[in-house]
Structure 1
């Protein structure tokens, strides 16, 4: 994460987030063309002095302004549907992690290993180190390997929460009694932050998510240290 408060998207760290940004730019390009065309036609109609009271219909122009919007909607719908299916796809995950929302913290369980589970509370402002982000740092980081398909199982123990990490392009509701699934794949290592994106109570804004993405060798070393505790 380079700039949490920047205008626009955070730097993408997953192929899905890159595609979401491309789709946003694609949509904005089409909208700018439409707005420019409408503005130009509006000014043209307001400034010209030609009129005819005998014209009551024009099937040609009605056909044109029906077909062109349909074609534009196709250019928007096709990549949108493709992204919708890709966001729900989970391809041969190497690692499965369960995240449970509580009021007001997250707990994580590495389902493929025995006894690797922990709670992640927000770090108080008085305990922050230099360079840490206030209200975004947690006492335990979610550790995942880079360039590896990781399946996240999201649920909740009390009310509806939402597990969201903008730089990875993921946002899934944590619903009591229900398991939701998402796929994580990161392009590079680093620390990446998210927050609960559902209004889940008085301290809703104080249950952040901190993901530490490392290479596979470092991840294996961390697993061995956790299993030996």
Structure 2
């Protein structure tokens, strides 16, 4: 549900920016092609007011959509039922399920040539239950790492001394 709302936000913002681009291109082309321009016109209060108010309204609309989505994302943390702490290390990931009797394990990359997915296969897989609110807390112990679930288009950077968090809910049972 959360990713759905992020996609709607992205679509709305892209539509607004495309509209602004098209209007700007039309006006520029119109000014270049029009030979009947009054070069002595110094001021036009209505025009100045409109090109001040319209961009402000567009920016306010974008800000309100972004803030609404941001707060909806924060509300997911209140509904969290499972916290998964993920720590990036030099050659492996450490996973800890804090709500489930502190279960923790390390996941190492399997380096074999016969896998379909290069360096994406591990010896221990992280298991995420479906229809539960999951809060991922991601950090690193050494350098910046990139943690991802390709099937959900989720990519989070693990940065040393900084905790990135992401809430999500898997809607159907599957192997991610």
TM-score (norm 2): 0.84
Distance 1:37 1:179, change over 3 A: closer
* Among candidates 94, 98, 101, match of residue 81 of structure 2: 94
Structure 1 position 116, deviation (Å)? 2.6
1:171 match: 156
2:91 match: 104
Asked if 1 retains the 8 angstrom alpha-carbon contact of 2:86 and 2:93, the reply is: yes
Task: Give the number of aligned pairs.
Answer: 174
Asked if residue 24 in structure 1 is aligned to residue 10 in structure 2, the reply is yes
1:198 match: none
Once residues 144 and 2 of structure 2 are traced to their aligned partners in structure 1, the CA distance between those partners, rounded to angstroms, is: 25
Asked if 2 retains the 8 angstrom alpha-carbon contact of 1:91 and 1:149, the reply is: no
TM-score (norm 1): 0.67
Distance 1:115 1:91, change over 3 A: closer
Using CA pairs under 8 Å that are at least 6 residues apart, name the structure with larger relative contact order, 1 or 2: 1
Once residues 149 and 70 of structure 2 are traced to their aligned partners in structure 1, the CA distance between those partners, rounded to angstroms, is: 17
Q: CA RMSD, aligned part only?
A: 2.3
Asked if 2 retains the 8 angstrom alpha-carbon contact of 1:163 and 1:174, the reply is: no
SS at match of 2:122: coil
1:113 match: 100
Once residues 132 and 22 of structure 2 are traced to their aligned partners in structure 1, the CA distance between those partners, rounded to angstroms, is: 44
2:19 match: 33
Distance 1:121 1:56, change over 3 A: same
Once residues 102 and 64 of structure 1 are traced to their aligned partners in structure 2, the CA distance between those partners, rounded to angstroms, is: 54
Q: How does 1:63-142 map to 2 (within 5 A)?
A: 63-89=49-75, 90-114=77-101, 116-126=103-113, 128=115, 132-142=116-126
Distance 1:83 1:125, change over 3 A: farther
List alignment gaps of at least 5 residues for structure 1. Answer: 1-14, 193-229
Once residues 70 and 111 of structure 1 are traced to their aligned partners in structure 2, the CA distance between those partners, rounded to angstroms, is: 45
